[in-house]
Amino acid sequence: MADSVFEFAVDLTADELRRRAEVLKALGPDWDPVAAIQGEQEAYDLLYSGLDAEQEAIYAQLVEAGVLPPREAGRDAA
């Protein structure tokens, strides 16, 4: 029996389009991406608000190390 080489290719374009359509369908017609991003920013601001001096120092170290993104100037919650 001779060795044969078979070329096998799968085009996932149609499946990716179907997957994206299903994600949007699951999110529903009332999903607002801008509001979702704003909500995430508000949650981030709240999470890092009211830190004491030691927590602020640790936060600064994590930002400097690139683990956390810096808070935008003027957006620090009290």
Label each residue of the chain as H, E or C. Answer: CCCCCCCCCCCCHHHHHHHHHHHHHHHCCCCCHHHHHHHHHHHHHHHCCCCCHHHHHHHHHHHHCCCCCCCCCCCCCC
- 77 assigned to some structural domain: no
Q: What is the pTM of this model?
A: 0.51
pLDDT of res. 45: 87
In the block, tokens 């999110």 appear at 27
| Rounded mean pLDDT, 2-6 | 79
Residue 58 in this model has a pLDDT that exceeds 60: yes
In the block, tokens 């799968």 appear at 10
- What domain count does the chain have? 1
- 53 assigned to some structural domain: yes
- 25 assigned to some structural domain: no
- Residue-number span of the structural domain to which 43 is assigned: 32-71
